[in-house]
Amino acid sequence: MILGICGNIGAGKSSLTSLLEETLGFRGVYEAVDENPFLEDFYSNMERWAFHSQLFFLIKRFDFLKRVVTEGAVILQDRTIYEDVEIFARNLKLMGYIDERDWRLYLDTYETLSEHLTAPDGIVYIKCTKNVLLKRIKKRGRGFESGVSEDYIERLNGLYEEWIGRVTFCRKLIIDGDKYDFVENAQDREDVLRLISRFTAELMAGVQSKLFSR
């Protein structure tokens, strides 16, 4: 079973993925941030490197989905391929950093790959306001993220809200990332683990029901 961990930059996706690995025994597959050779250049010059960076993430995400073996395990995907397309790449297109020709190539690549996609059985969306995201981005101290603007984060948040409202391909759980600080607060951590444990149990029951009905 695949569980997508979704959210904006700084929402705590990797921290939640790690927490679920340690406490519930799930298996995490993390976003290839450190592997992306274009990412640092992207943050310093978005217009020049937007297309390259997004195409890299798209291909890496598909490579994960192609190779993953889900039998008998809960696989956590730190950000989904749908977020790459519907939020990050789309935002760069709307900002004029990806031109029409490159956008068509990007979408054509995605549509070709999507024929072979394994959709997640469920997604956990960590919803945070702009100020909380900016605070967490600053706290984790990734140098290449230091120039991320409030407007950029706000635009991504808007696209996330639009996208999560349209998600119908799987079940979804929305975690209030402003309310629950599962990194620093022990009680919040327990509450979030309880919510996700219940959610995944329901998903597993649904997956097993489908298998037995075949």
The domain locations on the chain are 2-209
Please tell me the least confidently modeled range out of 58-67, 88-97, 139-148, 193-202: 139-148
pLDDT band for 71, please (50, 70, 90 cuts).
Answer: low
Query: For residue 4, which of 78, 69, 85, 113 has the smallest C-alpha distance?
Result: 78
Using DSSP's 3-state secondary structure scheme, residue 5 falls into: strand
Q: Which active-site residues does the annotation give?
A: 78
Write down the pLDDT at residue 69: 61
The more confidently predicted of residues 64 and 204 is 204
Name the fold adopted by 2-209. Rossmann fold (3.40.50)
Question: Cβ(133)–Cβ(8) under 8 Å?
Answer: yes
pLDDT band for 157, please (50, 70, 90 cuts).
Answer: very high
Question: Cβ(73)–Cβ(2) under 8 Å?
Answer: no
pTM: 0.87
- Please write the tens of the pLDDT for every residue from 127-139: 999 999 999 988 8
For residues 68-81, give the mean pLDDT.
79
Separation in Å, CA 196 to CA 53, 105, 169, 170, 203: 31, 37, 19, 15, 10
Q: Which two tokens stand for residue 188?
A: 């919040």
Alpha-carbon gap, residue 209 to 33, rounded angstroms:
36
List, as residue ranges, the binding site for substrate: 31, 43, 54, 79, 84, 145
List, as residue ranges, the binding site: 7-15, 31, 43, 54, 79, 84, 136-140, 145
Write down the pLDDT at residue 140: 78
From its phi and psi, is residue 126 left (phi > 0), alpha (psi between -120 and 50) or beta?
beta
Who's near 53: CB < 8 A, 6+ residues apart? Answer: 36, 38, 39, 41, 42
**60 has a pLDDT exceeding 70:** yes
List, as residue ranges, the binding site for ATP: 7-15, 136-140
